[in-house]
Amino acid sequence: MEQQYQISFLPWVAFDKAIEIGPIILWPFFLEVEHRIKDRKIIEYLQKYFKSYVDYKEVPVEKITICTHGKDYFRYLNEFELKELRNAIDILTFLSIAPRVTQAVCMDNSSFGPPSADIFELITQNFLLTNNYISIEVGSITHTGYKIGEINFPKPFATGGIIGNPGEQFINAINKCLSSNHLTELKERLLRTLEWFRMAHIEGGQVSIHSKIVMLSTAFEIFQTSPKGTRWYFIKYIEHQIASKNIFRGIRTNGKGEKRDLSLAGCWAFDFYGLRNKIVHGEEINNNDLRYRDWITHLIVADLMLYQCIKKALYINDCFDKSFDEFIDGIKKIFNDKILDDDILLLLNISLGFKHTHEALGWIKNSNEEYS
């Protein structure tokens, strides 16, 4: 019986070198195929098949990423392995979008847009070397009867801005979390959070902006382990994770008419969760409700805050090269143990690179003196 093969790939993106996320290896087909695949017939089949993936002018794409579970490239993956593959693409999506959003805000450049989740479309295809027929599955529907060369798969227009290589340091931190035996809860929360993040960044009119706000608020609720998902729990979480003593403050009024003094980070959390509540309760929403300031929307700020919360959680759980305890010990030595928790949080925000984002949002003065 002829051997059957399976391949998974990203047809619209490739990096200049392989990336490993958990057990998944993502490698650029056209750059590395000759030394990764020894069977010439498989190489020729894939080269022929990949010509079906074309750009806007129907020219075959020159960037395709192969996704393999370990180094056994063409075996059928079981349900658990396919889920690990999906998780890796969710991680890649997050690490490609969130840092780019951060750069755009810090540069105050609305044209410096991130890629969308659409560019990370994941395809899994079964094939026989002697059979040119291919089947296309879309949801629960399978289309058959097509041959290679008879059908093209065009690149979607909603792929967004330029994609860069995801930060190696952040990938290493996530990999450490994935492989840790004592961070199981953080790992599960992280993976479910990033699935919602990916869905919130699908473009092309498939997902409304209102749905995206609910999706991102859901991502926060999963990551913060909220017992009830209340607005004030969310505000408290953002205040604890993001706010430090030098962030400006503002006033918000709750449903009972009580005024609350909050950091501007807490004020954003109040407004964002309030927007989420208006959407899920069917209240009227206008464009001004969606905007935080100038061209920056509440969705953009949500991206920034989720990125910071995830980065901080990984850091505190010693997933980065320098441990959190080493950071605290170093700070206490500098200040001879005479330092407040608020000051430690302030210095941690600097160490993690949050300062420029807070400046860009107008939450602190745009001056190094604020952190001196």
Task: Give the number of domains in the chain.
Answer: 2
Residue 207 shares a structural domain with residue 342 = yes
| pLDDT attached to residue 226 | 63
The confidence band for 369, taking pLDDT boundaries of 50, 70 and 90, is: very low
Query: Hunting for tokens 């969710």 — which residue is that?
Result: 90
Does residue 160 lie in a domain region?
no
Within 8 A by CB and 6+ apart from 103, the residues are 112
Residue 201 shares a structural domain with residue 306 = yes
Q: How far apart are CA 24 and CA 185, in angstroms?
A: 21
The domain in which residue 77 lies consists of 5-154
Long-range contacts of 236-239 (CB under 8 A, 24+ apart): 237/269, 237/309, 238/265, 238/266, 238/268, 238/269, 238/305, 238/309, 239/263, 239/265, 239/266, 239/269
Tell me which of 121, 154, 187 is where a domain ends: 154
The confidence band for 346, taking pLDDT boundaries of 50, 70 and 90, is: confident
Residue 338 per-residue DSSP state: -
Is residue 340 scored above 80 in pLDDT?
no
Q: How far apart are CA 3 and CA 236, in angstroms?
A: 57
What mean pLDDT comes out for the span 37-65?
A: 94
Is residue 140 scored above 70 in pLDDT?
no
Name the residue with higher pLDDT: 10 or 206: 10
Q: What is the CA radius of gyration of the chain?
A: 23
Nearest to 120, CA basis, from 15, 5, 6, 190: 15
The confidence band for 7, taking pLDDT boundaries of 50, 70 and 90, is: very high
The answer to whether residues 364 and 349 touch, using CB atoms and an 8 Å cutoff, is no
Name the percent of the chain lying above pLDDT 90: 65
The answer to whether residues 87 and 95 touch, using CB atoms and an 8 Å cutoff, is no
Is residue 97 scored above 80 in pLDDT?
yes
* pTM of the shown model: 0.91
The amino acid present at 36, given as its one-letter code, is R
Q: In this structure, how many other beta carbons lie within 10 angstroms of the beta carbon of residue 298?
A: 23
Is residue 171 scored above 50 in pLDDT?
yes
Does residue 159 lie in a domain region?
no
Angle at 187 between CA 232 and CA 77, to 5 degrees: 135
| pLDDT attached to residue 228 | 62
Residue 274 shares a structural domain with residue 213 = yes
Residue 100 shares a structural domain with residue 25 = yes
Q: At what angle do helices 298-316 and 79-107 cross, to 10 degrees?
A: 120
